[in-house]
Amino acid sequence: MNDYISILKKDLLDVIDNLIKNNIVNQDFKKDNLTIDYLSKSKQGEVSTNLFILLNSQLNKNDYDLRKNIHKNIINFEYVKKIEITKVGFINIFFEEDFIIKKLFFLLSHPNNYGNNVSGNNDKINIEFVSANPTGPLHIAHIRGAVLGDALASILQATGHKVTREYYVNDAGSQINILGNSLYKRYQQIFGVKIEISPEEYPGEYLIPIAKLIADSDNDKWLKIKEVERKKFFEGFAIKELVKSIKLDLKSINISFDQFTYESTIVENKIIDKVFSILKDKDLLYEGFLEKPKGDDSADWEPRKQLLFRSSNFTDDRDRPFKKVGGEWTYFANDAAYHYDKYLRNYTHLINIWGADHIGYIKRMKSLTEVISDNPKYLEVYVCQIVRLIKDKNFLKMSKREGNFITLNEIVKKVGKDPLRYFMISSKSETPMDFDMDKVIEKNKDNPVFYCQYAYARASSVINKSKTFKEFKNFKNKFNEFDYSLLSKYEWEIILKLLSWPYLLNQTSLFKQPHRITNYLEDLSSSFHSFWNMGKEDQSLRMLDLENTKKTLTKLLWIESFRIVVKRAFTIIGIEAYENM
């Protein structure tokens, strides 16, 4: 990491280390509390730090002139031009222009990977997301997790991790039975059999075209074939077709997976047996009874003896069933086997993106992965809160029963890929979100994605226009002409923001919060639009000035940098950068 923030941070930490070494502050000084404020957060300097405040309260020696010594230390950094320590103790720092300009040159010469780093150490990370049951098309509830997972994967790749995007297909439970049966009923209907699909089954119309496929190729042959064979065929066919359409839906929002793992494969390979023996050896399984949950009012509750996993030995608040009363594995047990399978594939780290309805499931799975990996942090689970759809100012109620859920496909058609992706990651995933279909459709300034794309288009139009003048051709090769003294302070601020991109991207990766990127984009775009409009008031701030070639060249260089950074950010969150809008 050699962005200006990281460099400064490292040097400030060295200052602290030195003070510790000389026993001016204690060994247990908490270095993590050191902050560097940049961008708009820094009120007075180009950046500011709390270094002095932190140290001042922890001094061992009363006669030590901290203020003077800190000042001397920092001003000696070769890239620091000026510092001031305020009364409260904030240190405002200004950089040497040459230092910043070198960074800008570096940016310009790395248009396709500026900001990327290798801090991930090539760690193998498996990120599992969506994993919707293949019993119907994807709908609104799946989109947030899909986009979040995909963006997170890109962010991790950009910061040096080897990432596998994985989808777990639950194709082995009783739901699949029902699915196959519903498909068969649709098939029967084609041949005039009077039969209804009950609300407990899958009455959605999406099974009709799939049934037609079978009828087209096999005619009515399955009406006469034995149930066992028929069931197997219809279940398999339904899953194959539905997974195919799920893949297509995901492709429409630019998401593709590296791997689909099928529950049936996990079951066939008997991986559960290995997990069972591991848990058994560690005495983490026992036959026992669970207490009735207190909020459960149902009268037909009876104590039942079954195989339980001692998840309460870890962070869970109670033990969890591993086998059903009948002796079959629970869903959790098969899922445990799946996670063990991922562990065997040698990932250094697992990430799961789950919907809010699985919150109660996290602790038992983390308990399990701790047992098999010996690492309490082996699995990280990120939860997506629900998305409420608003149409015509009303919340849309969705029920599978009535078959009236809005599919991902329909939303993409109405809203478009870019606004959809942008909105889904622009708020923290743990916050419930309201998604107003009408507002997103409007495609005006209500919509931040267009605001940012428009800024990119404006910048592009300047660059493209400049190409019509011979003085500015090949401006990218004329970095020697760059002269900061011809720039306004607004532009200098924008340049500093651009150069904070590598730091921001790394923070985004560390905290797994893609929405930091959209915040950054909006801040950056806003600065750009502001500056653009200043040119209307003040001729000297206009970007293209044919009278003043050197000044215009200097501007073109930072405008090109702006385009590079915005495009990098767009690419990582998966939206398009248009040169014309």
Partner RNA sequence: GCGCUCUUAGCUCAGUUGGAUAGAGCAUCGGUUUUCUAAACCGAGGGUCGCAGGUUCGAAUCCUGCAGAGCGCGCCA
Interatomic CA distance for residues 94 and 71, integer angstroms: 13
The answer to whether 455 touches 520, Cβ cutoff 8 Å, is no
Cα distance between residue 292 and residue 161, in whole Å? 44
Q: Which of 80, 100, 140, 172 touches RNA (CB under 7 A)?
A: 172
Q: Which is nearer to RNA, 175 or 265 (CB)?
A: 175
Q: Which is nearer to RNA, 98 or 268 (CB)?
A: 268
DSSP string, 344-399: HTT-SEEEEEEEGGGGGGHHHHHHHHHHHHS-TTSEEEEEEPPEEEEETTEEPP--
Residue 475: how many CB atoms within 10 A of its CB?
23
The one among 369, 426, 509, 561 contacting RNA by CB under 7 A = 426
Q: Which helix (H) or strand (E) holds 11?
A: helix 4-21
d(CA 257, CA 554): 43
Contact with RNA (CB under 7 A) among 117, 154, 170, 245: 170
Q: Binding to RNA by residue 232, rule CB under 7 A?
A: no
Tell me the closest approach of the beta carbon of residue 421 to RNA, in angstroms. Answer: 15
Judged by CB under 7 A, does residue 438 bind RNA? no
How many angstroms from the chain centroid is the CA of residue 313?
A: 32
Task: Name the residue nearer to RNA (CB basis): 248 or 325.
Answer: 325
Token pair, residue 112, equals 């396709």
Q: Does 454 bind RNA (CB under 7 A)?
A: yes
What residues from 495 to 534 belong to the interface with RNA (CB under 7 A)? Answer: 504, 507, 510-511, 513, 515-516, 519, 522, 526, 529-530, 532-534
Rounded to a whole number of angstroms, the minimum distance from the CB of residue 542 to RNA is 4
Which residue in 403, 408, 407 sits closest to 421, CA to CA? 408
**Distance of closest approach, residue 162 Cβ to RNA, in angstroms:** 23
| 451 is a contact residue toward RNA (CB under 7 A) | yes
Region 280-309 residues binding RNA, contact defined as CB under 7 A? 289-290, 292-296, 300-304, 306
Sole window of 63-71, 109-117, 166-174, 266-274 interacting with RNA (rule: CB under 7 A): 166-174
- The position carrying tokens 């962010």 is 155
Rounded to a whole number of angstroms, the distance between the first and last alpha carbons of the chain is 35
In the bound state with RNA, the residue whose beta carbon lies nearer, of 164 and 466, is 466
Closest to RNA by CB, 211 vs 455, is 455
Residue among 306 and 571 whose Cβ is closer to RNA:
306
Q: Which stretch binds RNA (CB under 7 A): 13-21, 408-416, 425-433, 470-478?
A: 425-433
- Tokens 């820094």, residue located: 42
Identity of residue 574: G
Count of residues engaged in binding RNA, rule: CB under 7 A: 108
For RNA, the binding residues in 106-165 under the rule CB under 7 A are 133
**Residue 213 or 325: which CB sits closer to RNA?**
325
**Quick one: three-class SS letters along 435-452?**
EEHHHHHHCCCCCHHHHH
Q: Map the footprint of RNA across residues 197-226, applying CB under 7 A.
A: none
Instruction: Choose one: 167-175, 185-193, 339-347, 399-407; the region binding RNA (CB under 7 A).
Output: 167-175
In this chain, which of 18, 22, 23, 40 binds RNA, going by CB under 7 A? 40
362 binds RNA (CB under 7 A): yes
Please report how close the Cβ of residue 216 comes to RNA at its closest, in angstroms. Answer: 30
Q: Which is nearer to RNA, 209 or 432 (CB)?
A: 432
Nearer to RNA, 79 or 451 (CB): 451
Which window, 19-27, 228-236, 452-460, 468-476, contacts RNA (CB under 7 A)? 452-460
Q: What is the DSSP string of 503-547?
A: HHHHHHHHHT-THHHHHHHHHHHHHHHHHHHHHHH-GGG-S--TT
Q: Are 426 and 448 in contact (CB under 8 A)?
A: yes
Residue of the chain from 8, 24, 66, 90 that contacts RNA (CB under 7 A) = 90
Stretch touching RNA by CB under 7 A, among 20-28, 49-57, 122-130, 212-220: 49-57
Q: Which of residues 2-31 bind RNA (CB under 7 A)?
A: none
In the region spanning residues 371 to 400, those forming contacts with RNA, defined by CB under 7 A, are 383, 385-386
What size, in residues, is the chain? 581
Q: Whole-angstrom Cα distance, residue 496 to residue 79?
A: 14
Residues 86, 91, 95: CA angle, nearest 5 degrees:
125
CB of 177 to RNA, least distance (A): 9
Does position 262 interact with RNA (CB under 7 A)? The reply is no
Please identify, among the stretches 13-21, 144-152, 339-347, 427-435, the one whose residues bind RNA according to the rule CB under 7 A. Answer: 427-435
Residue 265, interface with RNA (CB under 7 A)? no
Q: How far apart are CA 80 and CA 69, in angstroms?
A: 15
64 is written with which tokens?
């030590």
Q: By CB under 7 A, name the one of 139, 339, 363, 366 that touches RNA.
A: 363
Cβ nearer to RNA, comparing 214 with 463? 463
Distance set, CA 403 to CA 137, 176, 395 (Å): 11, 18, 17
Cβ of residue 427: shortest distance to RNA, in angstroms? 3
The pair of three-digit structure tokens given for residue 536, joined into one six-digit string: 């209307």
Burial 182-202 (b: 16+ CB within 10 A, else e): bbbbbbbbeeeeeeebeeebb
SS3 34: coil
β-sheet bridge partners, residue 384: 355
Binding flag, residue 267, RNA (CB under 7 A): no
Q: Residue 236 or 535: which CB sits closer to RNA?
A: 535
Cα distance between residue 292 and residue 398, in whole Å: 31
Burial class (CB in 10 A: 0-12, 13-18, 19+), 76: exposed
Restricted to residues 301-360, the positions that interact with RNA (CB under 7 A) are: 301-304, 306, 317-318, 321, 324-326, 330-332, 356-360
Beta bridge partners of residue 169, listed in sequence order: 262
Nearer to RNA, 192 or 303 (CB): 303
Q: What angle do CA 352, 356, 358 make, to 5 degrees?
A: 65
269 lines the binding site for RNA (CB under 7 A): no
